[in-house]
Structure 1
């Protein structure tokens, strides 16, 4: 689709769901891909799957809440492949639609720590290598929950709005360096984000089996003109476009992949 051969990418949360599709699509497009994730068993499966397709990939266990671990992840990519062209800050967890009155301090800190602080750490670590080279693609995963207030819970919505704001601020202050900064905002995508979030945040597991879609699995169709869930590969295609040279004049943008939900 786009000529990305020879590029080097880091994808956080790249071992499951949307992140796995992004990692797989980048690697099979010829991008040397380093996955940073907190689930080593899933990471090993992702590496095996991608290598079987001919991609060059490795997995580094990374908790994005740790600045040191994120910096080590990025440095691994540079040490292994000599540079960093693309970072996709995709690691994220869901809050189970917890209302502001239900959200504990611990849940708030966990959600914002992974979704927002982890994204900030990834951006900062990547820019240390991209700015001196005068080129790079920073792509952050937000959500339709980062654009409208009715899609998700309090902490998730706050974190995803903040990711959009952080990305736009960086675009206004660093785009002249040759780096672009964009977000991709998925809508209702067929993944196991609830299950993954429950495994990462076990104290919040009881929140994951309720809310939109729990009582009526088809309820989402009422909000989506396309009347279906999106696929992880459809989100990955948007990321590949933003990572490509064809998107060189697009920065500070939020690319929505939602079947018409926001519209």
Structure 2
């Protein structure tokens, strides 16, 4: 575990799945954590649970599709703790492996707005604060194996997650001189409730979520050299390494956490 004592971290989508594992690991590493998420009950319960375990953790209901709400989330962290050191743009939804002909304009807009535009809002808001502090900081964006290769997800999800990787690399080039590192983690098939939560968040725009690697009990045996699905904690460990001092010279990278899937 890395020592993040005194660091202030904001994470979107930190109330479930991979985000929950990252929130928990940040808190255990000593960071002060503000979680922003759209699942209000889950977020409030997570923050309360982590505080009961000794963490300094708070929840702010946030819809990352709305720039003002993302700005408010970051503002709340700065007001409460005085600064911002870490921004993790993790909020995301799944498109159910919908091909382009099955992708309505409404579904496309929802997936891109949450997965890519929400990441843009988070990066922009965080960078304003980090630069105002004199530079320095860590930004992590959650992309996907679907942001590194085709045939891993649906059309809108793949386009959005490739966009996250491109945004990450551009920001790393723009702000490394100011001591701000920007990296992406790219999870493969991870054991989470992303399908269920995506259906809830997308509502009427959702498509059936029963396709793809995670829905096929044998697909990972054929596609993933590790012959198993990953755990949220395994992604969290990489993310927390990237925000630690140990990764001070790592920036602009899109790191797959996929059991070797992208090596095939």
On whether the aligned pair clears a TM of 0.5, the verdict is yes
Q: 1:229 to 1:212 in 2, by over 3 A?
A: closer
User: In structure 2, the residue corresponding to 1:210 is in which secondary structure?
Assistant: coil
In 1, Cα distance between equivalents of 2:94 and 2:182: 23
Number of equivalent positions: 262
- Taking the aligned partners of 1:176 and 1:71, their CA distance within structure 2 comes to 24
Aligned partner of 2:101 in structure 1 is 101
Which residue is 2:79 aligned to? 79
What residue in structure 1 maps to residue 224 of structure 2? 224
SS of 1:140's partner is strand
- Shift in Å, 1:213: 4.4
Does the 8 Å CA contact 1:21/1:233 hold for their aligned counterparts? Answer: yes
| Equivalent residues of 1:95, 1:204 under 8 A apart | no
TM (norm. structure 2) is: 0.97
In 1: Cα distance, 2:51 partner to 2:189 partner: 29
Aligned 8 A contact 1:224 1:261 in 2? yes
* Aligned Cα root-mean-square deviation (Å): 1.0
Aligned to 1:33, the other structure's residue is in SS state strand
Q: Which runs of 5+ in 1 are unaligned?
A: none
2:12: which partner in 1? Answer: 12
1:10-89, aligned counterparts within 5 Å? Answer: 10-89=10-89
Give the match for residue 258 of structure 1.
Answer: 258
CA distance in 1, matches of 2:235, 2:161: 16
Q: For the residues of structure 1 that align with 2:206 and 2:95, how far apart are their CA atoms?
A: 9
Give secondary structure in 2 for the equivalent of 1:262.
helix
Q: How far apart, in 1, do the equivalents of 2:17 and 2:78 lie? A: 25
Quote how far apart the aligned CAs of 1:219 are.
1.8
> How do residues 225-244 of structure 1 correspond to structure 2 at under 5 angstroms?
225-244=225-244
Structure 2 CA distance for aligned equivalents of residues 128 and 106 of structure 1: 31
Aligned mates of 2:214, 2:38 — CA distance in 1: 27
Q: Distance in 2 between the 1:205 and 1:49 partners? A: 30
